[in-house]
Structure 1
Amino acid sequence: MIAVDADVNASVTTCGVRGRRLLTPGLPLWETLEPRQRIALLGHELGHCSNGDTLRGAVFGTAYRSLTIWHHYLEPTGDPAPLEILANLVHMVPRSLVSGLLMLLDQLTLRSKQRAEYLADSLAARAGSTEAAVGLLDRLLVAEPVHITLRRENNRLRALPRRAGRSEGLQDGLREVLAAHTESIPEHEYERQRRVGARRGHGVDDTHPPTHLCRECLLVGAPAPAAVVADADCEQRIAAELADARGQVARQIVRDGFDG
């Protein structure tokens, strides 16, 4: 199954009793990528399904997803009413237990998760080429300005008089805004971000290896050519298929704001 959300990220997981795989590319990230980088992104995410990733297995994966869901439902209510204050207090102990179990599971699987990321990167290079996989990592280095761009565009649309016009405006201009942002980033900014990332140990999140190490690992050895190539017709069909999803994401951003 495929779902699209408003994150500047992408993920793959399993859901339901039958353990069906769910691929979720974040549309703001997707729109900033070149066609080959998109293939590399899909290769990376689907690579997690075949590289022995512990947290996508039946035992650890189910446990981690269950604990994450419980942690979400036990979150304290913001600006609580009197009864909600009591519920927050009651939930404090079980939420602490769930948080502790999640931290323990993270520590037990940390090595395996980082190994899985390196393997997924190698599959991204096989799918879209080494150059595309490295370019994808560079795009992730400049993800924060994408957040800023979307917040700025969202604030501009919120100032429009009609709410309907806001989502329509963002839907029509989402690709153009993100494409213009990406094209405006000069090469020396990528180089600066690479140096800053290497110095600070930039990673996509706490479970990912540092981005500069992933990049260096991809550049070791002979570069891999692309095993999958999308022609112009394929790219147009993909864009048409995402049109409805783009509208839904635009409405979500306008309705809820953008927190990344």
Structure 2
Amino acid sequence: MIDTMSGTDCPACGSGTVSLGDAAPWCPDCEWNLDAYDDRRRRPEFGWAWVDRWTYRLAFRMTRGQYVRLVGRPLDANGRGRAGLLTAAASLVLIGGVGALAVTGIWLIVAFPFPNLAVLPGVALLGLAVALRPRFGRLDPDLEVVTRERAPQLHALIDEVAAAVGAPVPDVVGVDGDLNAYAGLVGVRRRRVLCLGLPYFGVLGPQERVALLGHELGHFVNGDPRRMLLSQPAFTMLGSAADLVRPVDTVSAVGLVEMVGEALGKAFGWVLSRLLFGAHLVLLSVALRDSQRAEYLADELSARVAGSVGATGLLDVALASGSTALAVRREARAGHGADRWRAAAAEARSAAADRLPRLRQLSVRDEASLFSSHPPTGLRRRMLESRPARDAAVVLTEERMARIDAELAREYARVAREISLSG
């Protein structure tokens, strides 16, 4: 990616405009044209250019508007706005609807003497209720669980960070080979799961690792609707219903009456599935506004435990995920371990230091979406910078970090092999 000057002056403030690579130019001072829809850099979300352009502009306005409303204000988990309340209300309605289907189905089955034709719609309604029931999630089969006995130093650090952010410790800690990390709840018992992608965790410096743990554990206490049992139906039920009624190709009908009936049935199913899916997208876009608020709060909890420098550094690593992935792949294929991954990623970030301010601004354009669970990385960093600087509550030394990496040596080696063998 090449940093270029566009050679034109901003029509709003007169400053010189800038660009990165093939991105449409914008003004770095007043951010004129930063809201431009850049179809060369965006993956289509709906497939119709005019729809993608309109939804992008709506997403950009909503994202910037939410940032303006939240900056300088408390981000506590109880501060849910209209989006969070609407998500919870929609979930209750959906759960009530599924419950009504189940009750009606059972009533049709047992209310009349058997055999009776009422059994057929009763069984159908009961089956539909089962198919649309809320899902509680399952443990990822690719997750390699790391027990407390296997990695006591890692678990001790997690315990310290959890105490500092006021979060419960996870029930399951695991690692995988993704350049990512996540925290979630699975199963009816709502077991707390923390997953650390080793290519991500391994390239971070000491306080950036503390910041990562603080952010992920913060999701257990930040009111994120994606992890709350009451909000789950809003994210899944209407989408599942759309899949159920979507027409599928079957054996061709024989005879004019059968052909007409099949065509009408497919037409009805197609319209109904599109209506349900459209409602699913609308509800999802609303629910994710509250999810983005929760991400800002997770960042603030991250800064509280790791210090502002560690938290903003973590966001810069996320911003440079492309160069980080290349560095890790190169070092893994050369047979080097996590220490070289970290050094190579640091070198890549250092080489891109002069472009970072542009990358942060450009992320506000590139990452704006109605269906993104995270605010743009640049806005997340601005939110942290707008708040008072914090000192670290938990300090991870280089020596202790080395002991943690030694505990995970077997897992690092496995991930390195997988990276080396990947295309």
TM-score category of the 2 structures, normalised to the smaller one: 0.7 to 0.9
Question: Contact 2:324–2:348 at 8 Å: present in 1 too?
Answer: no
Q: Which residue of 1 aligns with 2:296?
A: 118
Question: 1:236/1:178 Cα in 2 relative to 1: closer, same or farther (>3 Å)?
Answer: closer
Counterpart amino acid of 2:346?
Answer: T
User: What corresponds to 2:375 in structure 1?
Assistant: 209
Q: Which runs of 4+ in 1 moved over 4 A?
A: 62-68, 92-102, 150-154
* 1:18-60 CA distance string (max 9 Å, x none): 2111111211111221110110111111111101111111132
Structure with higher RCO (Cα < 8 A, 6+ apart): 1
1:138 corresponds to which of 292, 311, 316: 316
* Aligned residue number for residue 220 of structure 1: 386
- Does 1:107 find its partner at 2:271? no
1:20 is matched with 191
Matched residue count: 226
Query: Percent same amino acid among aligned pairs?
Result: 38
> What SS does structure 1 have at the residue aligned with 2:174?
coil
Task: Indicate if the aligned counterparts of 1:202 and 1:212 stay in contact, CA closer than 8 A.
Answer: no
Contact 2:203 2:341 survives alignment (8 Å): no
- Alpha-carbon distance in 2 for matches of 1:97, 1:108: 17
Using the TM superposition, give the Cα deviation of residue 61 of structure 1 relative to its aligned residue in structure 2, in angstroms.
Answer: 3.5
Cα distance change, pair 178–102 in 1 and its aligned pair in 2 (3 A): farther
Deviation larger for 228-237 or 28-37: 228-237
Q: Is the 8 A contact 2:329 2:420 kept in 1?
A: no
CA contact (8 A) 2:180 2:197 kept: yes
> Structure 1 pair 203/244, CA: closer, same or farther in 2 (3 Å)?
farther
Deviation for aligned residue 1:188: 0.9
Indicate yes or no: 2:148 matched with 1:148. no
Q: 2:362 corresponds to which residue?
A: 196
Partner of 1:33: 204
Aligned to 2:176: 5
Please tell me whether the aligned partners of residues 28 and 178 of structure 1 are also in contact (alpha carbons under 8 angstroms).
no
Alignment partners' CA distance in 1, 2:316 and 2:234 = 33
Q: Is the 8 A contact 1:203 1:211 kept in 2?
A: no
Partner of residue 154, structure 2 = none
CA distance in 2, matches of 1:67, 1:4: 32
Match of residue 129 from structure 1:
307
Shift in alpha-carbon separation, 1:57–1:180, aligned structure 2, 3 A: same
Alignment CA distance shift 1:64-1:250 (3 Å): farther
Secondary structure of the 1:132 match is helix
RMSD between superposed Cα atoms in Å: 3.5
**Alpha-carbon distance in structure 2 between the residues aligned to 1:221 and 1:228:** 19
| CA–CA distance in structure 1, aligned partners of residues 305 and 368 of structure 2 | 22
Unaligned runs of 5+ in 1: 75-84, 87-91, 158-168
Q: Is the 8 A contact 1:130 1:218 kept in 2?
A: yes
TM-score between both structures, scaled by the size of structure 2: 0.47
**Structure having the higher Rg:** 2
Unaligned runs of 5+ in 2: 1-171, 251-268
Which residue number corresponds to residue 249 of structure 1?
415
Q: CA deviation at 1:140?
A: 0.9
User: Could you tell me which of 401, 406, 423 is aligned with 1:240?
Assistant: 406
- The offset of 1:17, in angstroms, is 2.7
Q: Comparing 140-149 with 41-50, which one deviates more in the overlay? A: 140-149
Output the TM-score relative to the length of structure 1. Answer: 0.72
Separation in 2, partners of 1:213, 1:192: 13
